[in-house]
């Protein structure tokens, strides 16, 4: 086969197929392969008119079709499938070729794969791709990690197919070496979980404390979408809430089983945060809220537990409450981003990735699920001060969250009083108050540790590490 393809895509399920079409629509000749050839043939038959595809029946045919240096995008299931496909292709490739993993890989796997392929002289670009089915076709947000040489080989291609941002720039940037791209994509998903949970809590409060119908709450979300909360997820929420089930005539949200599923990147975000020692309590609450929702038997056990019945608000109080919920939602959202970005910052230091948080915020502004007007300001905050220790250290965000704190507290206490669960709102507020507390009860915790386990402690009034012999009240200096 004469090598004419600019790029290859292997793995043609929903994401791979749409990414291949996106590439073809941009004038690239795309060699396509899938383990089950029927998928590859269906793509060529159904969408062949959109551009130039080369049907590869095997990895050997795929490699033979690609111009050098070969650019192969792998879009198969994360985990073992990705390893299997890389193992199949690696012996067929030459030094200087580049393999892109566009799946939702765990960043540790990406680091391992990058190192293994580097040994053979093959470049590896671990690339987060966000935007779902539609994004892959019309322009996703792309988060690549790998060597600068690997990125250079793909940059023009990725630039062409990425989402266009409001300022005309493309939602793609080289984020750092090896696992940096997949790490940023993982945290993106964790933040997405938090965003969705916060929105769900806002809806739940308006439904059960204000007593409003989904259609009326849809109007509230539409209004919010015209303000500082403007985002894809708020827009989607308004549409879902305004939707009625054709069969039953009921609000659509009422006919859906209230058990949310998850694929795993939210869980990875929290697991990784625990390993790094970074508090991402808002994201963790969102992951746990999904998990709790699915525990049907446990929830049935709890159904008989006592609690207050929410007292529905009158019109005037409901309007005030709606404003409190908006403030709580916005402030909690800022906290979730602060936590997620802190996690990226910590990983960047641990792994020597040198990730620029302004760039991260910039590539999240279009194409992906968490795209939001407010990300312009997040980018600006880190452009002004790339070493910002927290998003809450930015005077603009600190001012906004500070101004929201009273209504935020009222919304959280209203939820607690009426027995409406709002775990992510409450966790975000606790994080905020923990940051602003001059003293935390951690002093007591550390004293307990010293009491029962001789774990030592540091003092506020002099340097060194100490242990107290609690039986004799004698303090020993353990080290300076
Ligand atoms: P998406 O999220 O895009 O819908 P996915 O579930 O992440 O898809 O991945 C599915 C793709 O991985 C399919 O192309 C699948 O190939 P088949 O169509 O033959 O099932 C591919 N895939 C899964 N395991 C694979 C393996 N061991 N080797 C090659 N391809 C594999």
Q: Give the residue whose CA is nearest to atom 22 of ligand 1.
A: 76
DSSP assignment string, 154-213: HHHHHHHHSPBPTTS-BSB---BSTTHHHHHHHHHHHHHHHHHHHHHHHHHHIIIII---
DSSP assignment string, 233-247: HHHHHHHHHT-B-TT
Q: Give the residue whose CA is nearest to atom 12 of ligand 1.
A: 76
DSSP assignment string, 125-155: EEEEEESHHHHHHH--EEEEES-HHHHHHHH
Say if ligand 1 is within 6 A of residue 102 CB.
no
CA distance 56 to 64: 9
DSSP assignment string, 18-35: HHHHHHHHTT-EEEEE-S
Q: Give the residue whose CA is nearest to atom 27 of ligand 1.
A: 81
pLDDT digits (tens, 9 = 90+) for 170-206: 999 999 999 999 999 999 999 999 999 999 999 999 9
Say if ligand 1 is within 6 A of residue 367 CB.
no
Tokens 């003293």 identify what position? 439
Say if ligand 1 is within 6 A of residue 87 CB.
no
Active site amino acids: 185, 192
Say if ligand 1 is within 6 A of residue 12 CB.
yes
Say if ligand 1 is within 6 A of residue 312 CB.
no
Ligand 1 geometric centre to CA of 158 (Å): 22
Global pTM value:
0.96
The two beta strands, 98-101 and 123-130, are parallel
Above pLDDT 90, what percent of the chain? 97
Q: Give the residue whose CA is nearest to atom 11 of ligand 1.
A: 76
Ligand 1 geometric centre to CA of 10 (Å): 9
Residue-level length of the chain: 480
Q: Which domains does the chain have, with CATH numbers?
A: 7-178 (3.40.50.720), 185-436 (1.10.1040.10), 442-479 (1.20.5.320)
More confident residue, 177 or 312: 177
Confidence label for 1 from pLDDT (cuts 50, 70 and 90): low
CA distance 26 to 52: 10
pLDDT digits (tens, 9 = 90+) for 330-383: 999 999 999 999 999 999 999 999 999 999 999 999 999 999 999 999 999 999
Say if ligand 1 is within 6 A of residue 269 CB.
no
CA distance 164 to 152: 20
Task: List all residues 6 or more positions away from 114 whose beta carbon is below 8 Å from its beta carbon.
Answer: 124, 126, 146, 177, 178, 179
For the CA of 78, the closest atom of ligand 1 is 7
pLDDT digits (tens, 9 = 90+) for 228-252: 999 999 999 999 999 999 999 999 9
Q: Are 388 and 381 in contact (CB under 8 A)?
A: yes
Confidence label for 480 from pLDDT (cuts 50, 70 and 90): confident
3 state DSSP class of 270? helix
**Torsion, Cα of 84, 19, 179, 334 (10° steps):** -140
């Amino acid at each position: 086969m004469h090598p004419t393809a600019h790029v290859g895509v292997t793995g043609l399920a929903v994401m791979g197929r749409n990414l291949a079409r996106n590439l073809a629509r941009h004038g690239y000749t795309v060699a396509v392969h899938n383990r089950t050839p029927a998928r590859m043939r269906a793509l060529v038959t159904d969408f062949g008119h959109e551009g130039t595809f080369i049907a590869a029946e095997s990895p050997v045919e795929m490699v033979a079709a690609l111009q050098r240096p070969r650019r192969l995008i792998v879009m198969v299931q994360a985990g073992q499938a990705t390893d299997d496909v890389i193992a199949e292709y690696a012996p067929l490739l030459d030094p200087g070729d580049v393999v892109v993993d566009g799946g939702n890989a765990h960043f540790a796997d990406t680091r391992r794969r990058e190192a293994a392929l580097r040994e053979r002289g093959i470049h590896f670009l671990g690339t987060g791709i966000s935007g779902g089915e539609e994004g892959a076709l019309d322009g996703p947000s792309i988060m690549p990690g790998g060597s600068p040489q690997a990125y250079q080989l793909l940059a023009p291609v990725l630039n062409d197919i990425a989402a266009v941002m409001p300022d005309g720039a493309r939602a793609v940037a080289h984020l750092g070496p090896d696992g940096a791209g997949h790490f940023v994509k993982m945290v993106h998903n964790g933040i997405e979980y938090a965003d969705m949970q916060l929105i769900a809590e806002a809806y739940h409060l308006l439904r059960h404390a204000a007593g409003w119908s989904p259609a009326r709450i849809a109007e509230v979300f539409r209004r919010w979408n015209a303000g500082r909360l403007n985002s894809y997820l708020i827009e989607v929420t308004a549409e879902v809430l305004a939707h009625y089930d054709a069969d039953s005539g009921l609000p659509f949200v009422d006919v859906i089983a209230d058990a949310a599923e998850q694929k795993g990147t939210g869980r990875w975000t929290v697991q990784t945060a625990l390993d790094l020692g970074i508090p991402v309590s808002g994201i963790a609450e969102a992951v746990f809220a999904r998990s709790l929702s699915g525990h049907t038997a446990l929830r049935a056990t709890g159904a008989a537990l006592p609690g207050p019945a929410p007292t529905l608000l009158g019109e005037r109080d409901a309007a005030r409450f709606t404003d409190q919920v908006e403030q709580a939602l916005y402030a909690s959202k800022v906290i979730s981003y602060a936590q997620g970005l802190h996690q990226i910052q910590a990983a960047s230091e641990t792994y020597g990735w040198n990730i620029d948080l302004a760039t991260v915020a910039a590539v999240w502004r279009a194409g992906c699920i968490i795209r939001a007007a407010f990300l312009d300001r997040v980018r600006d905050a880190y452009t002004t001060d790339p070493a910002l220790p927290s998003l809450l250290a930015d005077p603009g965000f600190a001012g906004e969250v500070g101004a929201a704190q009273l209504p935020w507290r009222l919304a959280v206490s209203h939820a607690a009083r009426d027995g409406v669960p709002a775990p992510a709102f409450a966790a975000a507020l606790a994080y905020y108050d923990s940051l602003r507390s001059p003293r935390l009860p951690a002093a007591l915790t550390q004293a307990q540790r010293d009491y029962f386990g001789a774990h030592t402690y540091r003092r506020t009034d002099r340097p060194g590490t100490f242990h107290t012999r609690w039986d004799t009240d004698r303090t020993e200096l353990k080290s300076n």
